[in-house]
Amino acid sequence: MSGGDNLDFEIRPNPAPVAAAERDALLVNPGFGRIFTDHMATVRYADGKGWYDARVEARAPISVDPASAVLHYAQEIFEGLKAYKMADGGVAMFRPDANAARFAQSAQRMAMPQLSEGTFLQSLREMIRIDQEWIPQSEEGSLYLRPFAYASEVFLGVRPALEYLYLVIASPVGAYFSGGVKPVSVWVSPDFTRAAPGGTGAAKCGGNYAAGLSAQAEAIENGCDQVVYLDAVQRKYVDELGGMNVVFVLDDGSLATPPLTGTILPGITRDSVLKLAQRAGRKVAERPVSIDEWRDGAASGRIREAFACGTAAVITPIGVVKSPDFEFTVADGGPGSVTMGLRKELVDIQRGRAADPFSWVHRVL
């Protein structure tokens, strides 16, 4: 079902874009996911025809039939990546080919047609080109790109849909956590799990997020910022947060992180951090880490730091871990030096301030 051909996008510039002065005012403090650019990219799919009608046009509401399959059975996938203003004034994306590959994997898991890597990358390049004035210049700012696809077929039967819509929207963003890089507190949910073996944990689909909202609400009620999920079978091993992977720093300077067994999302930030650490001579173990190991390790000093990682927040230290039965602090609760060092190393590569040893930076402008 993969779309082998790379489509050309027809460009229809927005006839009434936001005025420059208004746009600049919005870019001063954009927050996360509240403000959107002037355009969107769209590509349609129909069974037997493949992907067609690739376009960049004015961002506008889309009409959705009440019987569209996605509204009933949640056949939907998405991606998230950022375009950065580089130190030299250019613009680049970070590892967009990895997002393309993961989007194809998610499509396969959700029985959706795959978009070719070429069309996926081209949709992002066209969006960046046409909306480049929306990229914040600030240190923490970037243009968050959100490609997604959903079952648009008008049909209530339960089977993979025969029609889909792929879109890209773009949102200028500041820092993900208001208040900058400060440690987050995480809630170990006693009741909820995120993904079971054989489920959709490794696919980036909206359904995973819908299923996590009750747990997230529970975390907030208990004074925590995020949920940390344990494995669904033994309720013992750390999987990940709702939208970020977890990495531990041990007292010998090595890293440990849960393995990709199908229940966690294969994060591109996770992969990048592991590769950078390995390159710097750190040992990296992809192995199960139990919540008991974390609690005991935090008490003994064996686990010195813990952080969450993902595109939106990059790398965020985890300070406090709380459950109905216990509460503990990782080290002194502040950002650890290894965590902050890896964060700086990664951000410097993304911004073109440091060498790019793995050719991760994909220049657009």
Ligand X SMILES: *Cc1c(COP(=O)(O)O)cnc(C)c1O
Binding site for ligand X (CB under 6 A): 80, 204, 240, 243-245, 265, 267-270, 310-311
Q: Give the tokens for residue 275.
A: 């590769």
Q: How far is the CB of 209 from ligand X (least distance, A)?
A: 7
Q: How far is the CB of 118 from ligand X (least distance, A)?
A: 20
Q: How far is the CB of 310 from ligand X (least distance, A)?
A: 3
Residue with smaller CB distance to ligand X, 56 or 346: 346
221, with CB counted inside 10 A (0-12, 13-18, 19+), is exposed
Tell me how far apart the alpha carbons of residues 287 and 186 are, in angstroms, rounded to a whole number.
Answer: 21
- Residue 9 carries which DSSP code? P
| Residue 173 β-bridge partners | 142
Residue with smaller CB distance to ligand X, 39 or 102: 102
Residue with smaller CB distance to ligand X, 310 or 336: 310
Q: How far is the CB of 57 from ligand X (least distance, A)?
A: 27
Q: How far is the CB of 154 from ligand X (least distance, A)?
A: 28
Residue with smaller CB distance to ligand X, 270 or 295: 270
Please report the sign of the dihedral spanned by the C-alpha atoms of residue 57, residue 149, residue 264, residue 283: negative
Residue with smaller CB distance to ligand X, 250 or 265: 265
Query: Is residue 298 within a helix (H) or strand (E), and if so which, with residue range?
Result: helix 291-300
Tell me how far apart the alpha carbons of residues 244 and 265 are, in angstroms, rounded to a whole number.
Answer: 8
Tell me how far apart the alpha carbons of residues 349 and 78 are, in angstroms, rounded to a whole number.
Answer: 25
Residue with smaller CB distance to ligand X, 249 or 268: 268
Q: How far is the CB of 15 from ligand X (least distance, A)?
A: 34
Tell me how far apart the alpha carbons of residues 257 and 274 are, in angstroms, rounded to a whole number.
Answer: 9
Tell me how far apart the alpha carbons of residues 262 and 237 are, in angstroms, rounded to a whole number.
Answer: 14
Tell me how far apart the alpha carbons of residues 292 and 323 are, in angstroms, rounded to a whole number.
Answer: 12
Place of tokens 């960046």: 128
Cβ neighbours of 104 (radius 10 Å):
21
Contact by Cβ (8 Å): 115, 102: no
Residue with smaller CB distance to ligand X, 23 or 275: 275
In sequence order, which residues have a C-beta less than 8 Å from that of residue 21 and are 6 or more positions away? none
Q: How far is the CB of 229 from ligand X (least distance, A)?
A: 9
Residue with smaller CB distance to ligand X, 96 or 113: 96
Q: How far is the CB of 214 from ligand X (least distance, A)?
A: 16
